[in-house]
Structure 1
């Protein structure tokens, strides 16, 4: 007699914006999707190699002074305003809204991130654990026109206009339309994480996922569970990131 087959419910990890960790200084308002600095929760240490998603708003004329990093792939997605960057590799640049910065901290770097403008700025800083420790340091910065379809920002190879990262990780950005459905890319690893930058997104899928994601919400799931058929914008501000992770 054969044992009866059982159907396992898909594993979906929902991180509502309001439940993120919160750090507040007189010049910084930062929301952390995962454990960061003094905020530590063993249930929220990351998602696969995705270690940090920090949603930072930095006051005018303020910022992070020189500080070190090592053995981490660091991605900064500028949402609003601009940020001045200087590092120990000799780079000095201003990152504007619509641009993405990628750094391989590898053997060790120090850098500063200052908002030298007269207006506050907003960014998402993302940390991804590299495949290997002690890799050479590297820097790249690029502007990406964002479409209603998935725009590749990061990939393991420098193709389709994406910047290369030292891990089998893909990152896309889209501003989906309200009048059409956007399906998920078929490339990349089995773990998927959706992060809403702005606005509200409608999800069409199984009962395991919320019907909508709002600004700051995150959702992690396994590609094979097929919990999302497609998505669309619920408003004109909808702006999202999608990670595919090993």
Structure 2
């Protein structure tokens, strides 16, 4: 099963300072047919105006990944963490038993990012936050694991999340082809962050998505210079 979801069909909520597009039900947007994809609960495509952002607010029992497409985001939380994550880089937060945080665009330009929520493998645990720079040159022409809930990936440099999932990213020159074997039972949600791609025969443009299930492999071709990210996630009972 491969279902294409174009950027134009995403729910659009205008908050003045924030232009939010929701791949799944979130906040004001409610669609019982789009409550998530496997353990992936939220994928928001956010455009945050300069010198604005999300004030302090709480979370618990969720793994939250932020992939910055353009600009930068500054994080502060009730644990005392503070950090700035730039375009192409990633931050992760395990909400665990509870944490409050803010996310502000303190830049003089708009910030664009993907906000991804994944169910943790177990409730509770101490909340935590981390961030890491992932130079795009290091994932040029290949897939790189950016965040993972599996020890072998974390030991190789991926950010840690407490979920049975991996976040992949790639930057591909036009004409580049890569293949990824999908693990049995996985849900894959893929979004083109820039450029256009052909994946298993489906063409997608920037910010379009593919929801993929019961497919053995991804055959990815960059139709022009492109970037993509995807989550490969497993149901909690797998």
Q: TM-score, normalised by structure 1?
A: 0.87
Q: Find runs of 4+ consecutive structure 1 residues off by over 3 angstroms.
A: 185-189
CA distance in structure 2 between the aligned counterparts of 1:193 and 1:159, rounded to whole angstroms = 24
Counterpart check, 1:239 vs 2:227: yes
Within the candidate set 216, 219, 224, 1:230 is matched to 219
Q: Which stretch has the larger CA shift, 32-41 or 179-188?
A: 179-188
CA distance in structure 1 between the aligned counterparts of 2:79 and 2:122, rounded to whole angstroms = 20
| Alignment map for 1:87-236 (pairs within 5 Å) | 87-146=77-136, 147=139, 148-156=141-149, 157=151, 158-186=154-182, 190-205=186-201, 210=202, 212-222=203-213, 224-226=214-216, 230-236=219-225
Q: 1:132 to 1:177 in 2, by over 3 A?
A: same
Query: Structure 1 regions of 5+ residues with no counterpart?
Result: 1-10
CA distance in structure 2 between the aligned counterparts of 1:68 and 1:241, rounded to whole angstroms = 26
Q: 1:133 to 1:204 in 2, by over 3 A?
A: closer
Q: Which stretch has the larger CA shift, 99-108 or 173-182?
A: 173-182
CA distance in structure 2 between the aligned counterparts of 1:123 and 1:36, rounded to whole angstroms = 16
Counterpart in the other structure of 1:5: none
Q: Secondary structure at 1:184's aligned position in 2?
A: strand
CA distance in structure 2 between the aligned counterparts of 1:72 and 1:142, rounded to whole angstroms = 19
Q: TM-score, normalised by structure 2?
A: 0.90
Task: Report the structure, 1 or 2, having the larger strand content.
Answer: 2
Q: 1:80 to 1:36 in 2, by over 3 A?
A: same
Asked if 2 retains the 8 angstrom alpha-carbon contact of 1:152 and 1:160, the reply is no
Bigger Cα Rg: 1
1:187 CA drift (Å): 5.1
Q: 1:44 to 1:94 in 2, by over 3 A?
A: same
1:76 CA drift (Å): 0.5
1:180 CA drift (Å): 2.9
How many residues align? The count is 228
1:229 CA drift (Å): 5.1
Query: Structure 2 regions of 5+ residues with no counterpart?
Result: none
Counterpart check, 1:42 vs 2:38: no
Q: Secondary structure at 1:110's aligned position in 2?
A: strand
